[in-house]
Amino acid sequence: MRLKPYHFALALVGLVLGVLLSVQFKVTKETLKTPQIHRVQAVGAKIGEARADRDKKQDQISKMRAELDKMAAGVELGALREELVRSRIEAGLSGVYGPGIEVTLNDSNAVVKPGENPNLYVLHDEDILKVLNELRAAGAEALAINDQRVLATSEIRCTGPTILINRNQRLTPPFVISAIGNQENLSNSLKMRGGVIENLQFWGIQVSIKKVSQVNIPALSGTISFDYAKPTAEDRKVHE
């Protein structure tokens, strides 16, 4: 078989292409071995891992939000909200309103006779406390004096012609005691024979009792702090 001229041309072209491919492969291999390329590849791999981790966490967040929304619309949260409202009312942190009575007390306007003790004709802290205790015993759910919320921790003290309540509120007569509760029970507890009102009126203390369809009692104006009282271990376990 005779070799024609184009056979030599084809062989030459193939040889040239082979040399070129060999050189390109070698250059590419050397390039991949350089530290810069490895660094770029490592960074790219870390970016990929970070994106995968981000997507995973985003999926977890979406699931948790869905569960939270479900709980927010559930019965358990509704019960917790009701308990929180009751607790705020009992702590005096929320203003309240409802049917009840208003008791207005003022010093006697009678003329003191010679030889009589004038202190018998003016209101004292113990008189206010007796009225408050009667109202509590009759089922008063909230109390206030001259728009100052009265709590279990509220003190009533005489300071000259005024009384001190909630540590920093000084009140002067007339004293208006507001009470929310059953109007009949509250009123009758004060008016019973030999009760606190009858004893006050004996000395001319001015007393008026008015039933009110809507008594408004504000929240505590001060703050409540417990420096020494701590919840018991059992109570902590219940709320954990």
Q: Using alpha carbons only, how large is the chain's radius of gyration in Å?
A: 43
pLDDT digit string, tens, across residues 69-106: 776 666 566 777 788 888 888 888 889 999 999 999 99
pLDDT digit string, tens, across residues 179-193: 999 999 999 999 999
Q: Give pLDDT, residue 219.
A: 92
Chain centre to alpha carbon of residue 126:
35
Across the chain, what does the average pLDDT equal? 81
pLDDT digit string, tens, across residues 193-228: 989 999 999 889 999 999 999 999 999 887 777 788
- Asked if the model's pLDDT at residue 17 lies above 90, the reply is no
pLDDT: is 162 or 207 the higher one? 207
- Asked if the model's pLDDT at residue 236 lies above 70, the reply is no
Binning pLDDT at 50, 70 and 90, where does residue 3 land? very low
* CA separation for the pair 101, 214 (Å, rounded): 9
pTM (predicted TM-score): 0.64
For the four alpha carbons of 231, 224, 127 and 212, in that order, the dihedral sign comes to negative
Domains identified in the chain and CATH numbers: 96-217 (3.30.70.1880)
What's the rounded mean pLDDT across residues 118-129?
87
For the four alpha carbons of 125, 130, 134 and 137, in that order, the dihedral sign comes to positive
The DSSP string of 30-81 is HHHTSHHHHHHHHHHHHHHHHHHHHHHHHHHHHHHHHHHHHHHTSHHHHHHH
The DSSP string of 122-156 is S--HHHHHHHHHHHHHTT-SEEEETTEEE-TT--E
* CA separation for the pair 230, 236 (Å, rounded): 10
Give 179's contacts (C-beta < 8 A, 6+ positions apart). 100, 101, 102, 103, 135, 140, 142, 143, 186, 215
* CA separation for the pair 134, 155 (Å, rounded): 16
175 neighbors 166 (Cβ within 8 angstroms): no
- Asked if the model's pLDDT at residue 171 lies above 50, the reply is yes
**Long-range contacts of residues 70-78, Cβ cutoff 8 Å, at least 24 apart:** none
